[in-house]
Chain A
Amino acid sequence: MPPIPLDKQQVLDLYFLEHRAKLLDLAAFLDRYDRAGGAGDFRIEVFREAVKILSEDAPERARRVQEAFSDHSIEPIPTAPGKGAVGAQPPAKSGGTPSDAETSDSNGRGAL
């Protein structure tokens, strides 16, 4: 296994500014959402829960963020409702399909 060749100081020197900018993007996105009108949908709640994982003092945050957005059911669904994915699993009860988010594009943004 090739462990990370960098020490903590080098990780900061190489990545700090880039990820400081990404953190500001996250903050600005949440501000933008709050300023907008309308009701939104379940994705913002899943997002807010996932953001909490970032400040936990525990390893594998990326894996746990992925799991926060994931469908944890086990059985195949009866029929495919469309082709796209929206990036977060709706709560089992409330459902609620995002209005225009699920596209016939292959993953909402990219393809395969």
Chain B
Amino acid sequence: MKYIDPHIHMVSRTTDDYHNMALAGCVAITEPAFWAGYDRSSPQGFYDYYRLLTETEPKRAAAYGINHHCWLCINPKEAEDPAFAREVIELIPEFLDKPGVLGVGEIGLNKNSKNELTILEEQIALAAKHNQLVLVHTPHLEDKLKGTKLIIDAIKRNGTIDPGRVLIDHVEEHTVDLVLSEGFWAGMTLYPDTKCTPQRAADIIEMCGTERLWINSAGDWGHSDPLAVPKCRLEMKRRGHTEETIDTISYHNPMKFLSQSGKFNAG
């Protein structure tokens, strides 16, 4: 059995995690640019981070037989200062042609503020201009429903991006239909406390089907589980789902969406 974890922040994880993921069947991952747990003090901090994502991390992953890919952006948690964010956005095009860079992400909203929305719109435009795939972060907890609606409206307002080239991540029971009904792809993040558990993700698959839907661990520096994808596979298996359904959600669907970049390699 092999699987893809299409959203995981390996710069925050250890080599033991890579080892355990490889043992569990992980063959490829994609790592969106995100908040490091502190605000960077300069755009140069992001430049260094993009080098980490495009140069260093792929080598670390390769040592475990895992193909590493990434997404670049300024995340919404550091987008409250538009002038600062625009300086960061100017750095991104230089990296877009590098091998393993799949698109722009994870852009989105955090607290649903006006400045966050402005910077989201500008990064949607950046993706459209460079014909990039888009990976979108939706807000946490009480902010998710409103933020998901604002994000969908912003992408539709841009009007030049095919929804089939956009994955809107961290969907839960109250947002998955909004995303899928507009033709976007949807990601379910498996977290111990917030977002989806493996059981609830399996429930959503049973209610919504497998089309344009994937699962990921979003493992990072917080309380999270880099083996969440194989644990959800196991949950589906013990309910009696077929290998075909399990592989669709954890391998073939990520492969289908990510291959649109022309750069995705599952080995």
Contacts and interface: CB of A to CB of B under 8 A. Distances in A.
Check if A and B associate: yes
B247 interface: no
Contact of A110 (B203, B224, B241): B224
Interface of A: 1-6, 14-15, 60, 62-63, 66-67, 69-74, 76-89, 105-112
A66 B178 CA distance: 14
Contact of A80 (B115, B150, B206): B115
Contacts of B223: 109-110
B140 A85 contact: yes
B242 interface: yes
A67 B146 CA distance: 10
B173 interface: yes
Interface stretch (B87-95, B192-200, B250-258): B192-200
A64 to B, nearest CB: 8
A109 B116 contact: no
B35 A112 contact: yes
A74 B146 contact: yes
A1 B112 CA distance: 33
A81 B77 CA distance: 11
Closest 6 CB pairs of A and B: A111-B222, A5-B240, A107-B140, A66-B174, A80-B111, A1-B209
Contact of A111 (B35, B199, B239): B35
Contacts of A69: 141-142
Contacts of A111: 9, 12, 34-35, 37, 218, 220-222, 224
A78 B115 CA distance: 8
Interface in B7-23: 9, 12
Interface in B100-125: 106, 110-117
Nearest to B145: A70
B210 interface: yes
Contacts of B172: 66
A107 B210 contact: no
A85 B192 contact: no
Contacts of A74: 146, 149
A76 B143 contact: no
B116 A76 contact: yes
A82 B221 CA distance: 19
Contacts of B80: 79-80
Contacts of B264: none
Contact of B218 (A5, A89, A108, A112): A112
Contacts of B113: 76-80
B265 interface: no
A74 B117 CA distance: 13
A2 B114 contact: no
Contacts of B205: 2
Contact of A6 (B141, B145, B220, B239): B239
A60 B37 CA distance: 35
B142 A87 contact: yes
Contacts of B241: 2, 5
15 contacts: A1-B208, A2-B241, A4-B239, A14-B238, A71-B145, A77-B114, A80-B110, A80-B111, A83-B35, A109-B193, A109-B222, A109-B223, A110-B191, A111-B220, A112-B106
A69 B137 CA distance: 19
B194 A2 contact: no
B229 to A, nearest CB: 16
B58 interface: no
A84 B222 CA distance: 13
Nearest to B141: A85
